[in-house]
Chain A
Amino acid sequence: MANHQGGGGAGGLIGHASLPPPIPAGDQTVWADAGPLIVAACSELQDGELIHAENFSLFAAMSALEIMDPKMDSGIENSGYHSIEEAIENNIAPVPLSLDSTIDVQCILDATWHKGHSLAQTVFSCIYLLRIERTSPHALLHSYCRIMRAICNALVSVVSDARTNEEEDLFAMAYALPLKGEGDEKCLSILNSVEETISRQLRACKAQSSRKKSLEDIEPLQRNPDLEEGYCRALLCRLRFRKHYFHVFMCMRKPHGKGLELARKHVALCLSELSYMSKSLEFLRSLPYGSGQDDIESSTTASGCKPIGFDASLNSTLSAPGPPRATHILSWKKAVGYFQKLLHDLDFVCSFNMEPVLEDVLHYVVQFQKLQPDLVARTHLQILLVQDGKLCGKDSFHDVISRALALPELTADKEFQKNEFIVQLGQLIVSLLKILCTNIAWQRRKLGKILQDWGVLSLQLEMAFKREFGDRLNVMVDENMCMKVSRRLLIWTDEHTYWIASRFLTLGFELELYSPNEYCMVYWYMYVVLMRLMEKMQMRIAINSETSQRRGKKKKDHAKDPARDGSLSSSSLLIHCYICLCEGLAMMLAALHNESKAFQMRSPFNGEEERFVQHFDLLQKAHVPDHVSYYLFKESTVHARISGVVKHNYFREAQRITSSLKGSFAGDPNRMLELQQLEQVAEHNRIALNVINQVGADDPSLRVSFEFTHHPHFAIAVVKRS
């Protein structure tokens, strides 16, 4: 075919690149006009067909084309360079005039990568990184590129191995990118050497300024001798940040948490260097090449100098199939802010107690998720918790379970270890810990699904118990070891099934999955689930207390038991507080629905029952709990009246519990904060309820809305009159 328009291929016909010459005919080939043939073929195609073939359907036609996919869509804009080499030949990546700007842009692209974009569009849009060998003559740039590459490689590996990143799968995509290179293992020593050189430079600058000696044998980093000292400082803090950042991850990867303490020190040093980087802003903006980007808030470098040596489109043919995500490059200030948050989150992970009780681990992970950590921090917590199939790489899960059941004597028991229920429960616990480290949207979906597995195991344990021991679940006298283990296993599994269910429900609030006219049914279901949870916790407390009495003073860990039992009792009381709030809110909402017709659902296509079924479908399928239905919900709420809700004093009871818990939680700032929030929720709602009662729920001037201003899961009623 005569190719009148020159070369084809992705990106060949657009932008300002010159068209390649037409392909000449060879000895065995001639060019012929295929136009008439194509027209004839097109005339046989029906509307909507891309290819006329038996199995090539409309769906196939739609799926065959991906708009904006760089491999398919040759019309998509790019820089016009067909390759990295062409870009280099056109001087896109010269020796950078301002090394600080290049480093700053790499830094923001690093943060942008973490925030949900591909490496190809971010960190590896840097031509210096793509052709790292070109930077060899420039020690500082070369060492920085090496360590950036080494860190990227380490993070991609750890995230890929941990598989925490479902839904954030762009993070680990590194198709054909040069993530590894010979000699990368020496990146730290190369960086140290450069750091030492610049430190000497800085000392020399200081000496020069005090003694008026000239710098003779050290090559300056920039042209103005008066600015050399400030420039050295600016570069040093950037190098040192990257060095300590590298160390953080290397230390955190050490098995069994052995490097956590050192990692915390490096985190502190990183934060310190970030602070110096921020302070260097004013100096760098005063440099002659600075201030190309006038707006400090949106500038991509501290100096304001426009970045050179970066082009995201060069990797387009290497990228994952599909349209590139619109890349919102962070500003320099926001990137610094991102790293500060990441380091604080990593510090939280590093403060993890490596001798954990499983309950404490679950609580810890829930607290961690309140920080809204990003993928990198979550991955590092996950690999800390589950290593080589063991808790923190040390305790096999059958040991963890035996301790959770307050039966440490079973630790070495081979029969116990091989028991199919124990093996299964161990696997469920591993899966649960991993799920709890994922982003909360995905986490909630997975928690809903694993409820089935936990529900089935609970049922199997119950059936096995009844088969063996009859209906003696609440009878603890005359029990042999086998019965003791079975009972405790059943209660523990039940309790944690309800724990998962309660987390599933509360995450719905954090994800904004419930609309106000659904709050009543959600709080009601939470009330039901939490009641069962508290019941199981109290059974466990009773068992532990009975065990402690029997052990007397003989056991050396007797001192630990009261503390642990105390903690369990406090946790149970806290659940009781949640129950009061849930019940109060459910009844208040139900009363408003009944008396004032507020929060009603009027839909032409379905009613409240369908919404109930959909929201709680996974819980119902898992029978968590059993015998709960929409009709039970309606029976429980249809007679609710504001006056009745006031009389029950749910919120006053919640306040009483929060006051009583202050002593138990005095040493835990997170728990104390939550108590304060719960107190405020209870107080606000108690007052709101009284106001509604006085005015009358059916008063047409009354407007009641619910807001989550004090606690993420428990709303407060806001009462207004129009």
Chain B
Amino acid sequence: MTEFSPSEIEYVRYGGEHHLPLIMGLVDRELSEPYSIFTYRYFVYLWPNLTFLAFHEEKCVGTVVCKMGHHRNISRGYIGMLVVIESYRGRGIATELVTRSIRVMMESGCQEVTLEAEVTNKGALALYGRLGFIRAKRLFRYYLNGVDAFRLKLLFPKCDPMLLTTSNKNGGDDQPVNCL
């Protein structure tokens, strides 16, 4: 486990091609589902404002990759990939990355946010549960390894989202996550 204080983590929005190898490297190492470079480009080129990276002393230690669009007349955000390297987990980095991305979605007019997570991924389920996601559906044998998935959904209130409180500072009790 790497020692650091939360203030040493720098959160940066996706800034260009120079960030792509960092994101791909992290996701390829940590996540089980395979993606081509075209998948990454699809996300970061169309929605650069929804991808964030976390750096510690110039080393990329985490990333979140998202998109948004319309689904049945509802504007919906989608969290595609979320990863934090192992030695940095459990300290709130994943929560902060996801929170930043969701905030942008909210400000962009999304009505809800969704993602899939393995039913066995307790860390991811706890993290998203704290952020207000519910388990909307269970998808039988969704992943290539035959594991079921939950479709998680966060519904924004219909009132002015800017009146909501700012991010929940729970301390670093979120767990390492893979969410795709």
Interface residues in chain A, defined as those with a beta carbon under 8 Å from any beta carbon in chain B: 47-48, 50, 58-59, 61-62, 64-65, 67-68, 116-117, 167-168, 323-326, 328, 439, 441-442, 444-445, 511-515, 518, 601-607, 609-611, 613-615
By a CB distance below 8 angstroms, the chain A residues around B154 are 605-606, 610
Interface residues in chain B, defined as those with a beta carbon under 8 Å from any beta carbon in chain A: 17, 34-36, 38-39, 41-42, 45-46, 99, 102, 106, 119, 129-132, 134-141, 144-146, 148, 150, 153-157, 161, 164-168
Q: Name which residue of chain A comes closest to B35, CB basis.
A: A67
Kindly identify which residue among B39, B129, B139, B157 contacts A515, using a CB–CB cutoff of 8 Å. B129
Contact B38 A603 (CB under 8 A): no
Contact A603 B131 (CB under 8 A): yes
By a CB distance below 8 angstroms, the chain B residues around A615 are 134
A512-B138 contact given A48-B38, A116-B146, A605-B156, CB 8 Å threshold: yes
Q: Name which residue of chain B comes closest to A327, CB basis.
A: B146
How many angstroms between the C-alpha atoms of A67 and B137 in the bound complex? 27
How many angstroms between the C-alpha atoms of A614 and B154 in the bound complex? 9
By a CB distance below 8 angstroms, the chain A residues around B106 are 605
Instruction: State the 8 A-B residue pairs at the shortest beta-carbon distance, nearest first.
Output: A603-B132, A48-B41, A67-B34, A62-B42, A61-B38, A441-B138, A610-B155, A606-B132
Kindly identify which residue among A65, A168, A323, A512 contacts B119, using a CB–CB cutoff of 8 Å. A512
A-B contact pairs, 13 of them (CB 8 A): A47-B17, A68-B34, A325-B144, A326-B145, A326-B146, A441-B139, A444-B138, A512-B119, A513-B137, A518-B134, A603-B130, A604-B131, A606-B154
Q: Within the complex, what minimum Cβ distance (angstroms) separates A472 from chain B?
A: 41
Beyond the given A325-B144, A439-B140, A605-B132, please list 20 additional residue pairs across the A-B interface where CB-CB is below 8 A.
Answer: A48-B42, A58-B38, A61-B42, A62-B39, A67-B34, A325-B146, A326-B145, A441-B138, A511-B138, A513-B137, A513-B138, A514-B135, A602-B168, A604-B167, A605-B131, A606-B164, A610-B154, A610-B157, A613-B155, A614-B155
Count of CB-CB pairs between chains A and B under 8 Å: 119
Q: Name which residue of chain A comes closest to B142, CB basis.
A: A167
Kindly identify which residue among B99, B139, B144, B146 contacts A604, using a CB–CB cutoff of 8 Å. B99
Q: Within the complex, what minimum Cβ distance (angstroms) separates B174 from chain A?
A: 13
Contact B168 A58 (CB under 8 A): no
By a CB distance below 8 angstroms, the chain A residues around B155 are 606, 610-611, 613-614
How many angstroms between the C-alpha atoms of A610 and B137 in the bound complex? 16
Q: Within the complex, what minimum Cβ distance (angstroms) separates B168 from chain A?
A: 5
Most buried by A among B34, B131, B132, B165: B132
Report whether over half of chain B's contact residues are helix, strand or loop; otherwise say mixed.
mixed
Q: Within the complex, what minimum Cβ distance (angstroms) separates B86 from chain A?
A: 22
By a CB distance below 8 angstroms, the chain A residues around B141 are 116, 167-168
A607-B157 contact given A62-B38, A512-B138, CB 8 Å threshold: yes
How many angstroms between the C-alpha atoms of A59 and B40 in the bound complex? 10
Q: Within the complex, what minimum Cβ distance (angstroms) separates B142 from chain A?
A: 9
By a CB distance below 8 angstroms, the chain B residues around A513 are 134-138, 150
By a CB distance below 8 angstroms, the chain B residues around A514 are 135
How many angstroms between the C-alpha atoms of A605 and B165 in the bound complex? 8
Contact A614 B42 (CB under 8 A): no
Q: Within the complex, what minimum Cβ distance (angstroms) separates A624 from chain B?
A: 18
Contact B165 A604 (CB under 8 A): yes
How many angstroms between the C-alpha atoms of A446 and B26 in the bound complex? 38
Contact A614 B136 (CB under 8 A): yes
How many angstroms between the C-alpha atoms of A523 and B81 in the bound complex? 34
How many angstroms between the C-alpha atoms of A178 and B36 in the bound complex? 34
How many angstroms between the C-alpha atoms of A445 and B151 in the bound complex? 12
Contact A323 B38 (CB under 8 A): no
By a CB distance below 8 angstroms, the chain B residues around A442 are 140
Contact B138 A64 (CB under 8 A): no
By a CB distance below 8 angstroms, the chain A residues around B36 are 62, 65, 67
Contact A168 B140 (CB under 8 A): yes
How many angstroms between the C-alpha atoms of A229 and B137 in the bound complex? 55
By a CB distance below 8 angstroms, the chain A residues around B17 are 47
Q: Within the complex, what minimum Cβ distance (angstroms) separates A522 from chain B?
A: 11
How many angstroms between the C-alpha atoms of A439 and B139 in the bound complex? 10
By a CB distance below 8 angstroms, the chain B residues around A611 are 132, 134, 155
By a CB distance below 8 angstroms, the chain A residues around B165 are 604
Contact B138 A48 (CB under 8 A): no
Q: Within the complex, what minimum Cβ distance (angstroms) separates B117 from chain A?
A: 12
Contact A604 B132 (CB under 8 A): yes
How many angstroms between the C-alpha atoms of A653 and B130 in the bound complex? 36
How many angstroms between the C-alpha atoms of A167 and B134 in the bound complex? 22
By a CB distance below 8 angstroms, the chain B residues around A603 are 130-132, 168
Contact B138 A65 (CB under 8 A): no
Q: Name which residue of chain B comes closest to A514, CB basis.
A: B135
Q: Name which residue of chain A comes closest to B165, CB basis.
A: A604
